[in-house]
Chains A and B, each alone.
Chain A
Amino acid sequence: MVLTADAQALETKHLGFTISPHEECAVEEAVRIGGEVVVLTLGPAEAEEQLRDQMAIGADRGILLKTNGEEWDAQSTAAAIVDAIRAEGPFDLILFGNESADAAGFQVGIRVAHALGLPVVTGLKKIEVQGDRVRCERDVGGARDVVEAPLPAVLTVLEGLNLPRYPSVPGRLRAKSKPLAVVEPARPEQRLEKLRLVVPEGQGKQAEILENAAAVVAVMQSLGVA
Chain B
Amino acid sequence: MIVCFVEDDELSAQAVGFARTLGEVRAVTFAGAYQPAAWAKALAAQEAEAIVAAGSDRGNELLAHVGALLDQPFAANVTAIDGDVVTRVRWGGSLVEEARLHGAPKLLTVAPHVHAPAEFDPEVLEAVDDGSPKVLERVEESSGGVSLRDAKVVVSGGRGVGSSEGFAIIEELAGLLGGAVGCSRVVTSAGWRPHADQVGQTGTKISADLYIACGISGATQHIAGAKGAKKILAINTDPEAPIFASADYAVIGDLHEVVPAISAELRRVRG
CB proximity to A under 8 Å, residues B117-165: 132-141, 143, 147, 149, 152-153
- Does A5 have its Cβ within 8 Å of any Cβ on chain B? no
In the complex, per-residue mask of B230-244: 1 if CB is within 8 Å of any chain A CB, else 0: 110110000000001
Whether the Cβ atoms of B61 and A122 lie closer than 8 Å is: yes
The reply on A173 being an interface residue by CB < 8 A is no
Q: Mark B190-231, 1 if CB is under 8 A from A, else 0.
A: 010001101001110000011000000000110000000011
Contact among A143, A205, A208, A219 for B139, CB-based, below 8 A:
A143
* Interface-side segment among A30-38, A60-68, A179-187, A190-198: A190-198
Report Cα–Cα, A134/B229, bound state, in Å.
37
Cα–Cα distance between A148 and B233 once the two chains are bound (Å): 43
Determine if B252 is an interface residue (Cβ-Cβ < 8 Å).
yes
Q: Mark B243-254, 1 if CB is under 8 A from A, else 0.
A: 011111111100
Convert A187-222 into 0s and 1s, putting 1 for each residue whose CB lies closer than 8 angstroms to a CB of B. 000011111111110011101111011101101110
Query: In the bound complex, do residue A213 and residue B103 qualify as a contact, i.e. CB atoms below 8 Å apart?
Result: no
Complexed CA–CA distance, A163 and B196 (Å) = 12
B109, B203, B247: which contacts A207 (Cβ < 8 A)?
B247
Instruction: Count A interface residues, CB 8 Å.
Output: 74
Interface centre among B37, B61, B98 (most CB of A within 10 A): B61
Contact of A146 among B137, B201, B248, B251 (CB under 8 A): B137
Chain B residues with Cβ below 8 Å from A121 are: 133
A147 at interface by CB-CB < 8 Å:
yes
Question: Distance (Å) between the CB of B58 and the closest chain A CB?
Answer: 9
Summed over the interface, the residue pairs from A and B with CB atoms below 8 Å come to a total of: 226
Q: Which residues of A contact B91 (CB under 8 A)?
A: 1, 101-102, 104
Q: Give Cα A121 to B67, complex, Å.
A: 16
What is the minimal beta-carbon distance from B156 to any residue of chain A, in angstroms? 15
Within 8 Å by CB of B234, from A75, A207, A217, lies: A207
Measured between alpha carbons, how far is A159 from B215 in the docked complex, in Å? 22
The answer to whether B61 touches A104, judged by C-beta atoms less than 8 angstroms apart, is: no
CB atoms of B221 and A101 under 8 A apart? yes
Residue of A nearest to B79 (CB): A200
The size class of the interface chain B forms with chain A is: 35 or more
Interface of A, helix, strand, loop or mixed by DSSP? mixed
Instruction: With CB as the reference atom, state the residue of chain A lying closest to B176.
Output: A226
Task: Give the residue name and chain of the A residue nearest to B85 (CB).
Answer: A195
A170 CB–B CB distance under 8 Å: no
Q: Whole-angstrom distance between the alpha carbons of A226 and B258 in the complex?
A: 16
A residues near B179, Cβ cutoff 8 Å: 225
- Shortest C-beta distance, B139 to chain A (Å), equals 5
Across the interface, do B261 and A205 meet the contact criterion of CB distance under 8 Å?
no
Q: B265 and A163: CB pair below 8 A?
A: no
Closest to A155 in B: B133
Cβ distance A225 to chain B, nearest Cβ, rounded Å: 5
Q: Pick the interface stretch among A51-59, A85-93, A112-120.
A: A112-120
Whether, in the assembled complex, A110 has its beta carbon less than 8 Å from a beta carbon of chain B, the answer is yes
Give the distance in Å from the alpha carbon of A106 to the alpha carbon of B65 in the complex.
10
Apart from A107-B76, A110-B67, A142-B140, what 12 extra A-B contacts exist at CB < 8 Å? A74-B74, A104-B89, A107-B68, A145-B139, A192-B102, A197-B98, A198-B95, A199-B94, A207-B234, A210-B249, A210-B250, A226-B266
A-B contact pairs, 5 of them (CB 8 A): A75-B73, A145-B138, A197-B97, A207-B234, A225-B179
